[in-house]
Amino acid sequence: MKKSVENIVLEIKDKSELMIDLAYSSLLYDNKTIAKEVYDLENLIDALYQNLQKQTLEQVENKKLSINDALAVLRLAEAGEKIADAALEISDVELRDVELHPILKMSIRESDQVFTRVQVESQSILCNKTLGELKLGSETGMYIRAMRHGDRWLYGPDKNTKIDSDDILFAKGPEDGEKHLINLASGKTSKI
């Protein structure tokens, strides 16, 4: 299996799941910028999928990939494509310019893992640290899915992403992790 095939499967998987979280965030925070990002990511996934199909067929032709392995690759990528489509449907609700019924909004927010949006204050311990240094995922359970830095948006930030004062974080995680993140961002607590 050529390295790029598995890389593309993984990218489709991770991006499609990011799209779902972004789509729900766009609805919950009535945020069209995030909803439009879901559209851009769908285009990216389409391109990745086409590239993957071509590479998979080439590797089958060159006997570098067995039929069974190729089928699994195509099947997984197809599933990711479906998930991306579902994310698009969700963000469409936001883009149709209809405010979600408050009861429905509340209900979605309180799913298995809650969605939250927090602003980082200047006195917060989070300022000037990278996500890699902070390890918010393992320390609070909260998983940053998008952030706004001034006029710039970052979707699916990685461990090298630095948090600055006034950044707005869109995160997902367990209910008690949310309180912890809010306290860290406000500067109320400095214990990560």
Which residues contact a copy of itself (rule: CB under 8 A)? 1, 3, 5-7, 9-10, 13-14, 17-18, 20, 23, 68-69, 71-73, 75-76, 78-80, 82-83, 85-87, 89-90, 92-93, 96, 98, 100-101, 103-104, 106-108, 110-113, 135, 137-141, 143, 156, 173-174, 176-177, 180
3-state helix, strand, coil in the chain (%, to 5): 60, 15, 25
Identify the burial level of 113 via C-beta atoms within 10 angstroms of its C-beta, where 0-12 means exposed, 13-18 middle and 19 or more buried: middle
Least distance in Å: CB of 173 to a copy of itself? 7
Write the DSSP string, 14-39: HHHHHHHHHHHHHHHTT-HHHHHHHH
Nearer to a copy of itself, 145 or 166 (CB): 145
Residue 164 corresponds to which tokens in the numbers above? Answer: 């600055």
Least distance from a copy of itself to the Cβ atom of residue 90, Å: 5
The least distance separating a copy of itself from the CB of residue 111, rounded to whole angstroms, comes to 5
The structure tokens listed for 129 are 């640290």
Pick the closer one to a copy of itself by CB: 102 or 150.
102
